[in-house]
Amino acid sequence: MISETAPLASLDQWEDDLLSRYPEPEHKSKEDYRNYDTPERDTVREFYRLNHTYQTYDFVREKESDFLKFDKKELPVWGVAEFLNTLVDDSDPDTDLDQLQHLLQTSEAIRADGHPDWFVLTGFLHDMGKVLCLFGEAQWAVVGDTFPVGCKHSDKIVYPEFFANNPDSYDERYNTKYGVYEPNCGLRNIHMSWGHDEYLYQIMKNYMPEPALYMMRYHSFYSQHREEAYNHLMDEHDHEMFKWVRKFNPYDLYSKSPKPPVVSELKPYYEDLIAKYLPSTLKL
Ligand SMILES: [Fe+2]
Ligand SMILES: [Fe+2]
């Protein structure tokens, strides 16, 4: 039976599905990523049905007022990564990496390409918002493609047909092109569907350089960074910053290698990097 809160066997199933939608241009053929069996595809579909049905403008505002109080937990940054790792799901195929390994593979691929240290740190941090799951949030309120709420849903969002179940689609405050927003008002004025991206951004916003914050906040906004479906809400500055979001995306999607990083060898480097940019503990 498929669960209302957890149709996916693990959160990684969403990211694996992204690879079938956005396969790596060079090295791998589409077919390599497309050999899913049907049940997996069905759970991803069910996941998006729930996501698109329940991510309403009011839902997002409620989650913001709850989680942006940051009164849930206080941990050192490395402790957040270890806490996140308690999420490992044993129903995963054995080729899958745990959350910490995904973070380190992403950041190590960024480091290997010689990018600035704050970009490397962004790779290490980018999915830490998934701790939302450990606070009892449903999968569809933690992962999945994100999109603006409070205005018309683009048909460039994956499985757009499920927005027919979303009450905002019938609310005239929210179902027009601009909805509650102004043309090209800038993404800083837009409420995005609630999930790990926005949550992490809000935790990090006083500490990291602006391009890093854009990468954290919009890395799951595929309908914009891949499909450009919301140019009418973006301002010039957003367009400039989305160059970084697009630069980050391949590291997130294509850095998975079957050889897991050796955590103990890498930890000292990341502890130094964390100390350079972030406070000793984070309030979640
Ligand atoms: Fe993510
Ligand atoms: Fe990721």
Q: What ligand has the least distance to the C-alpha of 218?
A: 1
> What would the mean pLDDT of 132-145 be, rounded to a whole number?
96
Amino acid at 64: E
Confidence of residue 87 (pLDDT cuts 50, 70, 90): confident
Distance 126 CA to ligand 2 centre (A): 6
Distance 31 CA to ligand 1 centre (A): 24
- Using CA atoms, how far apart are residues 268 and 270, in angstroms rounded to an integer? 5
Q: Say what the pLDDT of residue 24 is.
A: 85
Q: Say what the pLDDT of residue 4 is.
A: 74
User: Positive or negative, the Cα torsion across 89, 66, 180, 56?
Assistant: positive
What single string gives the DSSP state of each residue in 219-268? TT-HHHHTT-TTTTT--HHHHHHHHHHHHHHHHHHH---SS---HHHHHH
Residue 20 lies in a domain: no
Residue 121 lies in a domain: yes
Q: What ligand has the least distance to the C-alpha of 251?
A: 2
Residue 93 in this model has a pLDDT that exceeds 80: no
Q: What ligand has the least distance to the C-alpha of 97?
A: 2
Residue 246 lies in a domain: yes
Confidence of residue 30 (pLDDT cuts 50, 70, 90): very low
Residue 6 in this model has a pLDDT that exceeds 80: yes
Residue 25 lies in a domain: no
Residue 36 in this model has a pLDDT that exceeds 50: no
Q: Identify the residue with better confidence: 35 or 69.
A: 69
Residue 3 lies in a domain: no
Q: Which percentage of the chain shows pLDDT scores above 70?
A: 91
Counted domains in the chain = 1
Amino acid at 220: S
End-to-end CA distance of the chain: 32
The domain of 272 spans 40-278
Chain mean pLDDT for the chain: 91
Q: What ligand has the least distance to the C-alpha of 145?
A: 1
Find the radius of gyration of the CA atoms of the chain.
Answer: 18
> What would the mean pLDDT of 110-129 be, rounded to a whole number?
98
- Using CA atoms, how far apart are residues 243 and 205, in angstroms rounded to an integer? 19
Residue 193 lies in a domain: yes
Q: What ligand has the least distance to the C-alpha of 200?
A: 1
Instruction: Determine which of 12-16, 18-22, 178-182 has the lowest per-residue pLDDT on average.
Output: 12-16
* pLDDT tens, position by position, 202-212: 999 999 999 99
Distance 128 CA to ligand 2 centre (A): 9
Residue 35 in this model has a pLDDT that exceeds 50: no
Q: Say what the pLDDT of residue 37 is.
A: 54
> What would the mean pLDDT of 202-224 be, rounded to a whole number?
98
The helices-and-strands tally (H runs, E runs) of the chain is: 12, 2
Confidence of residue 195 (pLDDT cuts 50, 70, 90): very high
Distance 171 CA to ligand 2 centre (A): 33
Q: What ligand has the least distance to the C-alpha of 129?
A: 1
Q: Are 239 and 218 in contact (CB under 8 A)?
A: no
* pLDDT tens, position by position, 254-266: 987 778 899 999 9
Biggest distance spanned by C-alpha atoms of the chain = 55
